[in-house]
Amino acid sequence: MKKYFLLLFTVPVLGYAQVKRGSVKKSRAASTLSKPTSKVPSKKLEITKAVDGFLINGNISGYPEGTPVSLINANTGAVELTSKTSMGKFSFSGKIQDPEFKVIALGEKAPYITIFLDNSLITVTGSKTDLEKSVVKGSPSNDEYVQFSTLVKPYEKVFSGEATLDSAETLKLNSALTRFIQQNPQSHISPLAIYRQYQLVMDNVLMEKLYNGLSISSQHSAIGGFVSKQIAENKKNPIGQPLADFTQPDTSGHTVALSSLKGKYVLVDFWASWCGPCRQENPNVLNVYNKYKEKNFTVLGVSLDKTKKAWVDAINMDALTWNHVSDLQGWNNAVAQKFEIFSIPQNFLLDPNGKIIAKNLRGPALESKLNSLLK
């Protein structure tokens, strides 16, 4: 189920990166449910407003009597409320601090109902045969989410890195996203629209300008906080500027300089043997390396390991046949300190002149970028 949530939003969250301890503070907008309740409705579902909170009344046909229903936090995958169907009906009530993504699961398996929940009186109607097309009414935040989803749905493969747009289509979508953001400065969906736009045009100046036009509440939302962090990260090692040269020893103790790889497209990949998300991403990096290594592309791995054996064993186990360097100082690795790397995996894609042309490309996004450069 966790994979579903990651694909749903395609916005990195801390659960999918190894973070240096003490480098991240909890967001003010963290999800909270105040005195939540759930119940099995009577035969006649009573529609009443939850006191100073939300009330979700569901009516989904096609499920057996007593089917379990869960309200799930879409960022963490944690079940927050549970209920059961009675004549197809169920309900949840509680209170949240800020609007955020939730998922309603019936029968504890896909498909799911996605809802951008706020403190409103909400009805959900649909059927088991077409659950993902269930109709959600009563939530202004969810209405904005539906509007945004309709706008970007034709471009899902673009945002997942599986496809690219020509210049005319890029301009068209960029303009549509800008209009949505400027017309909805109070919306908690607008930060997601800003991030999608950044994925499209990679313009940090525009991202910051649009973010600054949002309401304080929207800026301080969970996704707003992520966008703010992205803006700050992009200023550290900006796209279009050269990545400063560095030198570290390889697994044999011989020094390797980044500048020695000039003339090639280089992925500078920060990882470690103990980093679960890094090891999960390694097969993707290996795939693009094997596909493009004869087309002027290579990888330079910078490990944040502390012991040589663990580092070398991971390289061999994952069959990572490119150059690897490390000073075996863990998070205190001199290169990581230089570039302010506080979470991994992280990477920089450099052009043959050593300039940064993209950052933190993973999975299909990395392959799509290289394919556009090295056809």
Condensed to tens digits (0 to 9), the pLDDT of residues 304-348 reads: 999 999 999 999 999 999 999 999 999 999 999 999 998 899 999
Number of helices (H), then strands (E), in the chain:
12, 18
Q: Is 32 left (phi over 0), alpha (psi -120 to 50) or beta?
A: beta
- pLDDT, greater one: 10 or 235: 235
Tell me the pLDDT band of 110, cut-offs 50, 70 and 90.
confident
Residue labelled with tokens 């509680």:
94
Query: What domains are defined for the chain?
Result: 18-138 (2.60.40.10), 150-236 (no CATH), 247-373 (3.40.30.10)
Tell me the pLDDT band of 236, cut-offs 50, 70 and 90.
confident
pTM of the model: 0.68
Q: Quick check: 137 and 145 in contact, CB under 8 A?
A: no
Query: Shortest CA distance to 315 belongs to which of 301, 330, 335?
Result: 301
Residue 363: per-residue pLDDT: 83
Q: Quick check: 2 and 66 in contact, CB under 8 A?
A: no
Condensed to tens digits (0 to 9), the pLDDT of residues 353-364 reads: 999 999 988 888
**Of the ranges 43-57, 96-110, 259-273, 287-301, which one carries the lowest mean pLDDT score?**
43-57
Report, in angstroms and rounded to the nearest whole number, the Rg of the chain calculated over CA atoms. 23
Is residue 240 scored above 50 in pLDDT? yes
**In DSSP terms, which residues pair with 271 in a beta bridge?**
303
Q: Quick check: 302 and 332 in contact, CB under 8 A?
A: no
Q: Quick check: 326 and 304 in contact, CB under 8 A?
A: yes
What gap in Å lies between CA 68 and CA 198, rounded to an integer?
39
Q: Is 186 left (phi over 0), alpha (psi -120 to 50) or beta?
A: alpha
Residue 237: per-residue pLDDT: 86
**Environment class of 317 (CB within 10 Å of its CB; exposed 0-12, middle 13-18, buried 19+):** exposed
User: Average pLDDT, stretch 261-276?
Assistant: 96
Question: What is the identity of the amino acid at 246?
Answer: F
